[in-house]
A = this chain, B = another copy of it.
């Protein structure tokens, strides 16, 4: 039986899924981190391990491998990785970013936009086979509307209140969370956290916003505006007729109603016929929607 493999290789784990000709899921395996910019050797070992497990189960008749890999947009090693996979497994292979395979999956191969906002954020538009990327420049230079950006903006807002010699529900939330007496004392602790840990503080901000706190709501709305601005730039760059499907994925957009509703309102103000889709779950199935034939062939038969 022939099958195709889709891979979603991200910063914490790699998911590989195999589908038959009718799009039925045959099997799914998960291995470790797959970000080739964080650790190329480790990521490639985890990606190959996932493919090997599937071949061991389903046999050699794999038709193609579409690998969506985190970090490849930074390293630029699309061709190198495609050739390495094609040669190792003797299967036509193609490497794209993890956000691109998520885009194929979210829009089922149709043109439109995928907006991801989790710990980081990025906007990817697809029109006539051409991808337009907006944002996604990482925690220092971008990631508007991400959990990380929300957390930092909320901490800055609370520090501003503290600098005025005042307290607020936001300062009280942070000092309680970090178990310190003064807002200022949160800082040293924040600088010792990694980015995903900082990003999770956004959950506290959301929870305070849901209780109606104006500072928390303002922080979320500001970040939503920045993210909507990125999506609008992508829509502006589409040629007419513009595709109007806009998919959202990532914890901030799928779980935070304040952010998603504000983003939707900002977009509808300029593009009233925009259509919003929520896409959560596995992106490896994006392989089902890539009709392109530009897969790298094995050098050794």
Interface set of A (CB-CB < 8 Å, partner B)? 37, 74, 134-135, 137-138, 140-142, 152, 155-156, 159-160, 163-165, 184, 187-188, 190-191, 230, 233, 236-237
Tell me whether chain A's interface is mostly helix, strand or loop, or mixed.
helix
Q: Which one, B74, B138, B159, contacts A137 given CB within 8 A?
A: B159
Verify B159–A142 contact, CB threshold 8 A.
Answer: yes
| Interchain nearest-CB distance for A26 vs B (Å) | 37
How many copies of the shown chain assemble into the complex?
2
Verify A237–B165 contact, CB threshold 8 A.
Answer: yes
Q: Which residues of B contact A142 (CB under 8 A)?
A: 156, 159
Q: Which residues of B contact A152 (CB under 8 A)?
A: 140-141
Which residue of chain B has its CB nearest to the CB of A186? B141
Verify A138–B237 contact, CB threshold 8 A.
Answer: no
Verify A164–B74 contact, CB threshold 8 A.
Answer: no
* The 8 A-B residue pairs with the shortest CB-CB distance in the complex, in nearest-first order: A134-B163, A74-B188, A163-B233, A137-B187, A141-B155, A165-B237, A164-B233, A137-B159
Verify A237–B187 contact, CB threshold 8 A.
Answer: no
Q: Which one, B37, B163, B187, contacts A230 given CB within 8 A?
A: B163
Q: Which residues of B contact A164 (CB under 8 A)?
A: 233, 236-237
Q: Which residues of B contact A140 (CB under 8 A)?
A: 152, 190-191
Q: Which one, B137, B138, B159, B237, contacts A141 given CB within 8 A?
A: B159
Cα–Cα, bound, A134→B184 (Å): 10
| Interchain nearest-CB distance for A127 vs B (Å) | 13
